[in-house]
Amino acid sequence: MDKGFDTLINIIPSETLYREGKPINLNSHEDQARINSLLVELSDEGLMPELIIIDNLSSMTAGGDENSNNDIESLLKFMTSLRHKGFAVVLVHHSGKSGDQRGASRREDLLDTTIKLSPTKDDGGRKEGASFTIEFTKCRGKKPDPFNLPVECLQVRDGVFEWVMKHQREIPKIIDIMAFIRDAKPTAQKDIVEAGDLGSKGEISKRIQAARSTGYIEKSALVLTKKGLEEVERYLPESAF
């Protein structure tokens, strides 16, 4: 019989590791020792984990300066020690305004893989619901193919939801138009219309106007902005020309 979900995962709330009313700080040697003791206890109970998920890093390193490379030195050594003990560790972390990971860049040095989740947007540049692009921004060894995976959460039957990959045909039309601008470098909208499969003249004009309003296309030319290029890359990283 297959193991049930409740026997495969052990969720330990951070409150379990509170000390004198203070939250856990994985930069602290004392709190690291408490984690190690907890792992020993789990092992004694026959519950030694193979995967440790720390969710999220900011809440588990309270009191430290996440922008300081020096302040995370102890954390890096602790993560390395867990790896040497045979544990796989997943760190869940927040992004900053730039869309990249928040805080000190040195944190990423010891990671084998970094996966970035970015919300997908509709043709008008609005964020969609439970829909993301999974992007492998760092990968030691062979890079996954594809390394950008648009996924969304869909109800597959009553009360049951699953994450599924978005099919190519579900890529927003504005992304197709922007990819054409990136790759074919048209000089006028009529060049896009003449491509034949990107919409009518009115539809293309409306979508380009929306893309300009969201900062994806230059105001005075059919040229993608840096923001627009990054958005196209999330869906269609390879040039078609």
Name which of 89, 96, 136, 140 is nearest 117 in CA terms: 136
Strand partners, 127: 121
CA distances from residue 69 to 59, 72, 114, 215 in whole angstroms, order as listed: 18, 6, 18, 33
Q: Given a cut of 80, is residue 34 above it in pLDDT?
A: yes
Alpha helices of the chain — where are they, by DSSP H? 5-8, 29-44, 73-84, 173-184, 189-193, 201-213, 226-235
Strands (E), 41-159: 51-55, 88-92, 113-121, 127-139, 148-157
Q: Given a cut of 80, is residue 19 above it in pLDDT?
A: no
Q: Under DSSP, is residue 118 helix (H, G, I), strand (E, B) or coil?
A: strand
Residue that wins the pLDDT comparison between 141 and 178: 178
- In tens, the pLDDT along 143-195 reads 776 677 778 887 766 777 777 776 544 567 888 899 999 999 999 999 999 98
Q: State the CATH architecture for 169-235.
A: Orthogonal Bundle (1.10)
- pTM score, two decimals? 0.57
